[in-house]
Amino acid sequence: AQSVTQPDIHITVSEGASLELRCNYSYGATPYLFWYVQSPGQGLQLLLKYFSGDTLVQGIKGFEAEFKRSQSSFNLRKPSVHWSDAAEYFCAVGPYNTDKLIFGTGTRLQVFP
């Protein structure tokens, strides 16, 4: 069965520090991969997605993610975090031939000034 694991429930970083949020997936083939961000009290916004091609994808708000097939990972990175990045981050996999997004349990990011 397809699944997504986000090992870090809660991460705290200082403003200006670099960030990496981990995501591992379980799927029999190359899935479609997504990162969403949920600000407090808000809906989810797509940060970036990977379907095929270049394994390093750029997203909005200065985020990027790298697909590593050998590690079944799709980690999200940002070189310098801003206080406004504090939110909940969700990794999701979209199995081929279905629109059923399967979400990880989320990583809560806290940013200290």
Partner 1 sequence: DTAVSQTPKYLVTQMGNDKSIKCEQNLGHDTMYWYKQDSKKFLKIMFSYNNKELIINETVPNRFSPKSPDKAHLNLHINSLELGDSAVYFCASSQAAGTGDNEQFFGPGTRLTVL
Closest approach of Cβ 16 to partner 1, in Å?
Answer: 27
Closest approach of Cβ 80 to partner 1, in Å?
Answer: 26
Q: Given the rule CB under 8 A, which of 12-20, 42-50, 61-69, 70-78 is the region that contacts partner 1? A: 42-50
Instruction: Note whether 96 binds partner 1 by CB under 8 A.
Output: yes
DSSP letters of the chain? --EEE---SEEEEETT--EEE--EEE-SS--EEEEEEE-TT--EEEEEEE-SS-SEEE-GGG-EEEEEGGGTEEEEEESS--GGG-EEEEEEEE-TT----EE---EEEEEE-
**CB nearer partner 1, residue 22 or residue 49:** 49
